[in-house]
Amino acid sequence: MPMIYQHISALRAALQSYRGTQNDRQASPTRIALVPTMGNLHDGHLELVKIAKQQADIVVVSIFVNPTQFGVGEDFDSYPRTLDEDVAKLATVDADYVFAPTVDEMYPVLPPPTSVLAGAITTQLCGQSRPGHFDGVGIVVSKLFNIVQPDVAVFGQKDYQQLAIIKQLVRDLSYPIETIGAPIVRAADGLALSSRNQYLSAAERQIAPVLHQELQHLAQQLKNNAHSQQAVESLLTETRNRITDAGFTIDYLDIKTDALDSLVNTGAMFNAENKNLIILVAAWLGRARLLDNQLVS
């Protein structure tokens, strides 16, 4: 079973034993990986841990429902907290440490007077409907990086914009951390795994795979033809209409160049010369806000 720590000082002390002296590190470096989560783990999270185990000797999984990334009226209070079950699942993939701090441990003052602002990238996609969300992500990830001091950190590509922001954070704050984006893990019917999927009713769960099916259909249309901007907008409108008709309320459906840096630098939309694209969507189905994306070559 992984060791569980709730206090920053205790986790730091445990990890320090692997770092040793500078000569020790040069002779036999021990790589430490971090997998940040909010708990209520599913198979997608466990895949992140498996990837981390391939990249490092020691894997730390953080489990912390971070209040600074929840807005007014969002599901912070009701977000599922299942620490015992999570630790049991992590034991099956050989995670070494679980860091499960309290809110008071992470934020002696809440809201924290110090900010880590994500900048212009938050003016698009999820940032438009969740103002302040990514700034909350920025401060908690910065704190986790400082606490664990990992050599590598693994995040899921389902949260594509978040991954872009974290890569920006690593670049701009000069963290010596390799950031890995892990492929989306899906259920057999194509629905991207998410802790919030449990908010779906039985009837909604039957409808939910339509979101991925529509992304695949749109991707195939883009692959088959070289489209003008006007044609792409028409395809997007048709896809939005079908998703809405299926019962979803769309937050956004957009196409960007398939480069995390493009979100950071420009948020570039499709143009005829782009060969690699990504379709991004967020949509509500009942209480569940579902995210997904699809690469297009």
Separation between Cα atoms, residue 49 and residue 153, nearest integer Å: 10
157 labelled binding-site residue: yes
71 labelled binding-site residue: no
Q: Is CATH 3.90.1170.50 correct for 195-296?
A: no
Separation between Cα atoms, residue 48 and residue 152, nearest integer Å: 12
Residue from 45, 133, 212, 217 carrying the catalytic annotation = 45
Q: What pLDDT does residue 139 have?
A: 96
Q: What is the pLDDT of residues 120-159, one digit of tens each?
A: 888 899 999 898 899 999 999 999 999 999 999 999 999 9
Task: Evaluate if residue 26 carries a pLDDT over 60.
Answer: no
| Single pTM value for the model | 0.90
45 labelled binding-site residue: yes
Peptide bond into 209 cis (omega under 30): no
Question: CB atoms < 10 A from the CB of 59, how many?
Answer: 29
DSSP secondary structure letters along 255-283:
EEES-HHHHHHT-PBP-TT--SEEEEEEE
Angle at 178 between CA 52 and CA 49, to 5 degrees: 15
Q: What is the pLDDT of residues 50-80, one digit of tens each?
A: 999 999 999 999 999 999 999 988 999 999 9
Q: What is the pLDDT of residues 192-234, one digit of tens each?
A: 999 999 999 999 999 999 999 999 999 999 888 756 777 888 9
142 labelled binding-site residue: no
Q: Is 183 helix (H, G, I), strand (E, B) or coil?
A: coil
168 labelled binding-site residue: no
Catalytic residue list contains 217: no
Domain extent listing, the chain:
3-182, 195-296
Question: CB atoms < 10 A from the CB of 34, how many?
Answer: 26
81 labelled binding-site residue: no
**DSSP β-bridge partners for residue 278:** 256, 295
**DSSP β-bridge partners for residue 8:** none
| Rounded average pLDDT over 225-250 | 89
Of 283, 295, 215, 284, which is closest to residue 256 (Cα–Cα)?
A: 295
Q: Which CATH code fits 3-182?
A: 3.40.50.620
Q: What pLDDT does residue 267 have?
A: 44
CA 72 to chain centre: 21
159 labelled binding-site residue: yes
DSSP-H helix ranges across the chain = 8-19, 22-27, 43-55, 83-92, 103-106, 126-129, 133-148, 160-172, 202-207, 210-224, 229-245, 260-265
8 A C-beta contact, residue 43 and residue 185? yes
Q: What pLDDT does residue 263 have?
A: 54
Both structure tokens of 67? 């209040």
8 A C-beta contact, residue 64 and residue 107? no
Task: Evaluate if residue 260 carries a pLDDT over 80.
Answer: no
Separation between Cα atoms, residue 60 and residue 55, nearest integer Å: 12
